[in-house]
Structure 1
Amino acid sequence: MTAASNPPSAARSPLQFAAGAIVVGAIVGAIGWTQNHDQFFASYLVAWLFWNGLALGSMALQLLHNLTGGKWGDRIRPYLRATTGMIPIMAILFIPIAMNLDKIYEWANLAIVKDDSMLQYKANFYLNQKFFLIRAAIYFTLWFLLIGLLSWQARTNAAPDSPAHHRFRRFSGVGLGLHGLAVTFSSIDWMMSLEPHWFSAIYGVIMFAAQGVGALALSIFLATRDARRQPSLTPYEVDQFHDLGKLLSGLIMFWMYVNFSQLFIIWYGNLPEEVVWVIRRLAHGWLWVAVSLLVFHWMVPFFGLLNRDWKRDPARLGFMALMIVVMEWVMYVWYVEPAAQAYFEHLAHLAHDAGHAAAEAAHEGAHDAAKTEHHGFFPWIDAGLTVAIGGVWWLVFNRRRPKTFAQAEAAASKQKKKKGGHH
């Protein structure tokens, strides 16, 4: 018995769970809106990037499995298909970001750009709102085309040695390359440009690795949760989880490697325009967030997954996967919020200077008229909006899941068992 031939039944109603998440998250978000208007959009960006990253990572894993084959993908493919299908929803949820660029990105604020020669130069050919939105449309168009390819493949259900199967394999190779480029440039647009004076040549690779880790961890968690409801697992199913655990361990190591490479190059170069990125993420309490990422996103999963029994036990493997998914969200907070807080402080200083000048011109009390403050970081707004978007995400995901399991069941009944083992 496999996950593909035994679609799970949810322990609790996905509709009730999703509705509760949407309501609670929306209430928290509404409170956050009234408490800190600036913070709201930064928190929304964190939540959107987290859920969008899971969908994009799932697409990459599907394309990778088309290329490589292997039994590791058979177990989680229904979950990957359902998660990839969330990309159109994320495109709709991108609209609030597109409509409020100046509230999130420094380069979109004309009051800042007019006094910054570097931003003016970048605005001429890349960092401007019109081209930003055009690029976003290109990314989503490509992803929609790849969704169509993957859906076509699922409907075709081609035999492993058929010409159609080899054709999908070739398409997947090209698609994975194009997807990697889209992830690279979208990461530059949506995340790296939060600090438009800073740049990193490896940033897109880091985000590509992070999305793969998050998507694989989520799929493993869902697969292990459903597996625990089965009376028993066959040796073949245990081997599948073993392979998934090894793949997750490898992706975590790659994620850690590219992150370390970026930090090492910044440290070795010690250039003012580069070190500011690190300084912002080690000050004002962010050091402890960085330590938590080091411990719970790398050390604990890496050493835990060295244990063979952990990889073959759905309960322990699922726990490890869930922890990684949570730390993926923490990672997005750590990447986005320090940059957002720096931008908000910049806006507060501009408002203070403007108020001071106006007060002096009117011969009034400059201190009172120019009084402006930045209210700081509110992590509960990030959490609330993540829960709200997660409720929408979970609702649509569970509506798609029966179809993906039916497709997987049809494929399992048509294909022979694939060769492959664990080491």
Structure 2
Amino acid sequence: MADALARGWLLAWIVWSMIPIGSLVWVMIHAVTGGRWGDALAPALRPATALVPLAALTFLGIAATLPALYPWAADPGRVKADVARLYLNPVGFDLRAGLALAGWSGLALLVLTGRCTRLVAGLGLAFYGFSLSLVAVDWILSVEPAYVSSAFAADIALHQMLAALAWAALVGVPGRDGQRTGDLAQLILATLLGVLYMGLMAYVVAWYGDLPSKAAWYLKRGEGTWRAVLLAAFVAGGLVPFGMLLFSAVRRSAALLRAVGVLVLVGLALHLAWTLLPAYGDGAGAAAAAGLAGLAVLALLSRRAARFTTRTFADASAPESRHA
């Protein structure tokens, strides 16, 4: 039971944290590039960005249960001796996670206090790219350390950015300007295509590489229930939203865009479950159930944290808008 709770919390945290971290990325991108889209999405993205420190705090539940989550933490002999000594060990894992989450939390605070200048945002994006290239592998891929993918961090970055946009669609863009919803819809469409492309190319590269470790990873996720989960993720989170966004009536309707946001978030959650949980074999079902409970807990904590940050930073000046 304890292992299932720990694994469920890992899944819930990864799914939930994509929204605040992705929101931070979009806010920094807007600080660098400007444009009306960022001003329109700010009422949704800035409050979500405020939850990045909460993501850092709730990560402690993962750091405290590493042996239940990762085979290399339970038995260092599961990986090569030099890998265990130099990289995949609890101290290194915690240091990399702490560096990334502390850095992202600091950037979020700069955003909330109106101090995220173009230079800060540019440096912040560079730091985000570097740190994510480490922790994405740590947090997700290392549940099966034999499988590696050089493009995995970029894939997770797109997942985070897509989750933030889907959340903005769900919350709704203020005002009745169809152009604002159109901008959001086009951003969702472009990022969704990026997620689908990265997933397909990773599979194609693994297929043509014909390496046993990669083949075993995909074969485990291509059987029985997991095949159905992947199909549901593709249809609900990819195919249907993509088809909907091809119609201008959907792109200009806040209500229909909310439906797109819900579908995308469900699809992302299913895809992350498909990526992570098969590593736990027969315990995957219990971990999935615990993950749903973990999402409920994180949602409750998010509401309380959002109220606190709204009061704390209510008088902070937002960064100066720059229209394209």
What's the counterpart of residue 254 of structure 1?
Answer: 194
Alpha carbons 2:112, 2:313 under 8 Å: kept: no
CA–CA distance in structure 1, aligned partners of residues 43 and 90 of structure 2: 37
Name segments (4+ residues, structure 1) moved above 3 Å: 398-408
TM-score (norm: length of structure 2): 0.93
What's the counterpart of residue 157 of structure 2?
Answer: 208
What's the counterpart of residue 135 of structure 1?
Answer: 96
CA–CA distance in structure 1, aligned partners of residues 313 and 60 of structure 2: 28
For the residue of structure 2 that corresponds to 1:196, the secondary structure is coil
Q: Could you report, residue by residue, the CA deviation over 1:331-356 in whole angstroms, capped at 9, with x for unpaired residues?
A: 22111101122xxxxxxxxxxxxxxx
Task: Return 5+ residue gaps in structure 2 as ranges.
Answer: none
Q: Could you report, residue by residue, the CA deviation over 1:118-154 in whole angstroms, capped at 9, with x for unpaired residues?
A: 43231111001111111111112211231233234x2
Which amino acid in structure 2 is aligned with residue 133 of structure 1? D
Please report how far the alpha carbon of residue 186 of structure 1 lies from its aligned counterpart in structure 2 after TM superposition: 1.0
CA–CA distance in structure 2, aligned partners of residues 197 and 62 of structure 1: 35
For the residue of structure 2 that corresponds to 1:282, the secondary structure is coil
What's the counterpart of residue 83 of structure 1?
Answer: 48
Within the alignment, does 1:65 sit opposite 2:47 as a pair? no
CA–CA distance in structure 2, aligned partners of residues 129 and 415 of structure 1: 43
Within the alignment, does 1:182 sit opposite 2:106 as a pair? no
CA–CA distance in structure 2, aligned partners of residues 241 and 376 of structure 1: 38
Which amino acid in structure 2 is aligned with residue 136 of structure 1? A
Within the alignment, does 1:97 sit opposite 2:96 as a pair? no
CA–CA distance in structure 2, aligned partners of residues 131 and 176 of structure 1: 23
For the residue of structure 1 that corresponds to 2:150, the secondary structure is coil
CA–CA distance in structure 2, aligned partners of residues 274 and 199 of structure 1: 8
Q: Does the C-alpha gap of structure 1 residues 79 and 376 become closer, same or farther in structure 2, counting only changes over 3 Å?
A: closer
Alignment of 1:400-415 (within 5 A): 400-401=309-310
Q: Could you report, residue by residue, the CA deviation over 1:392-412 in whole angstroms, capped at 9, with x for unpaired residues?
A: 11222244347777768x77x
Alignment of 1:263-342 (within 5 A): 263-341=203-281
Which amino acid in structure 1 is aligned with residue 54 of structure 2? I
Please report how far the alpha carbon of residue 254 of structure 1 lies from its aligned counterpart in structure 2 after TM superposition: 0.6
Alpha carbons 2:278, 2:284 under 8 Å: kept: no
CA–CA distance in structure 1, aligned partners of residues 312 and 179 of structure 2: 25
Alpha carbons 1:184, 1:207 under 8 Å: kept: no
Within the alignment, does 1:217 sit opposite 2:125 as a pair? no
Alpha carbons 1:78, 1:405 under 8 Å: kept: no
Which amino acid in structure 2 is aligned with residue 132 of structure 1? F
CA–CA distance in structure 2, aligned partners of residues 290 and 41 of structure 1: 23
Q: CA RMSD in A?
A: 2.1
Alpha carbons 1:184, 1:208 under 8 Å: kept: no
Which of 109, 122, 125 is 2:83 aligned to? 122
Alpha carbons 1:82, 1:404 under 8 Å: kept: no
For the residue of structure 1 that corresponds to 2:232, the secondary structure is helix
Within the alignment, does 1:245 sit opposite 2:206 as a pair? no
Alpha carbons 1:79, 1:401 under 8 Å: kept: no
Please report how far the alpha carbon of residue 286 of structure 1 lies from its aligned counterpart in structure 2 after TM superposition: 0.2
CA–CA distance in structure 1, aligned partners of residues 187 and 313 of structure 2: 22
Alpha carbons 1:63, 1:172 under 8 Å: kept: yes
Which of 141, 147, 160 is 1:192 aligned to? 141
What's the counterpart of residue 387 of structure 1?
Answer: 296
Identity among equivalent pairs (%): 24
Task: Return 5+ residue gaps in structure 1 as ranges.
Answer: 1-35, 157-166, 342-373
What's the counterpart of residue 122 of structure 2?
Answer: 173
- The structure whose Rg is larger is 1
Which amino acid in structure 1 is aligned with residue 226 of structure 2? W
Which amino acid in structure 2 is aligned with residue 299 of structure 1? L
Which of 272, 275, 285 is 1:377 aligned to? 285
For the residue of structure 1 that corresponds to 2:285, the secondary structure is coil
Alpha carbons 1:42, 1:336 under 8 Å: kept: no
What's the counterpart of residue 33 of structure 1?
Answer: none
Q: Could you report, residue by residue, the CA deviation over 1:361-414 in whole angstroms, capped at 9, with x for unpaired residues?
A: xxxxxxxxxxxxx55523322211111111111222244347777768x77xx8
TM-score (norm: length of structure 1): 0.72
Q: Does the C-alpha gap of structure 1 residues 406 and 74 become closer, same or farther in structure 2, counting only changes over 3 Å?
A: farther
Please report how far the alpha carbon of residue 293 of structure 1 lies from its aligned counterpart in structure 2 after TM superposition: 1.5
CA–CA distance in structure 1, aligned partners of residues 188 and 283 of structure 2: 39
Alpha carbons 2:50, 2:109 under 8 Å: kept: no
For the residue of structure 2 that corresponds to 1:199, the secondary structure is coil
For the residue of structure 2 that corresponds to 1:285, the secondary structure is helix
Alpha carbons 1:56, 1:84 under 8 Å: kept: yes
Alpha carbons 2:50, 2:112 under 8 Å: kept: no
Alpha carbons 2:161, 2:191 under 8 Å: kept: yes
Please report how far the alpha carbon of residue 85 of structure 1 lies from its aligned counterpart in structure 2 after TM superposition: 1.3
